[in-house]
Amino acid sequence: MSFLRRRSATPAGPEFDVLAMDPGDWPGNLGAGLLPAPDGTCQGVFLRYDLFGGRGPAMIIGNLPEGSPAREVEEDEIPFEVGQLLLALENDEDVTVVGTEDMPVLQGDNLLIVRRLKLSESRISCVQFDRSDGVLVTIAAWDRPITDDLYALLKPLPAELFQQG
């Protein structure tokens, strides 16, 4: 399970692999954000994929390690990534989680147990799964369903993407 390995510490980026889609596989723009802790450690990474060069955010993929405060949400509260998607859309609607459904998904030879979140805003699709290294991956998409095909596109991004120039 190569995509679940830990890298050696990199001062300017996360100390874990970021599982997402390669920016070269996406037709639009990619933006990345790091969630720093006061001690300088990385408490998470989220990537925002904008469809076709700025026609609006289509998807946010977050990677939050164990202990990240962004993971601490109440049962009906939306994940951090859904909040980021709503901010990017300039949508101030009050959205809540109204249900969850666990489903098995194969990613190559690996079995993932994916939680599909049902939200009060039906135009948002959201799924989450835990990696064996304790990182929670959340995918939030606007106005397009998240299908099993997407999981085949997920892979660790190169550490160079998170290095300061």
pLDDT, tens only, 93-146? 999 999 999 999 887 777 889 999 999 999 999 999 998 889 999 999 998 889
CA distances 139 to 26, 39, 109, Å, are 15, 27, 21
Query: For 19-29, how does the pLDDT look when each residue is reduced to its tens digit (9 = 90+)?
Result: 988 877 777 78
CB of 55 closer than 8 Å to CB of 81: no
CB 45 within 8 A of CB 18: yes
pTM of the model: 0.86
Question: If pLDDT is split at 50, 70 and 90, which confidence band does 8 have?
Answer: very low
Please compute the mean of the pLDDT values over residues 53-74 and round it to a whole number. 86
Instruction: Please give the pLDDT value at position 119.
Output: 97
Spatial distance between the Cα atoms of 114 and 137, rounded to a whole number of angstroms: 10
pLDDT band at 3 (very low <50, low <70, confident <90, very high): very low
DSSP β-bridge partners for residue 124 = 142
Dist. CA 15–CA 159, nearest whole Å: 9
**What gap in Å lies between CA 108 and CA 103, rounded to an integer?**
16
Instruction: For residue 23, give Cα distances in angstroms to 19, 95, 101, 110, 158.
Output: 12, 29, 29, 23, 11
**Average confidence score pLDDT of the chain:** 84
161 vs 87, which has greater pLDDT?
A: 87
Tell me, what's the pLDDT at 54?
Answer: 62
CA distance 87 to 93: 10
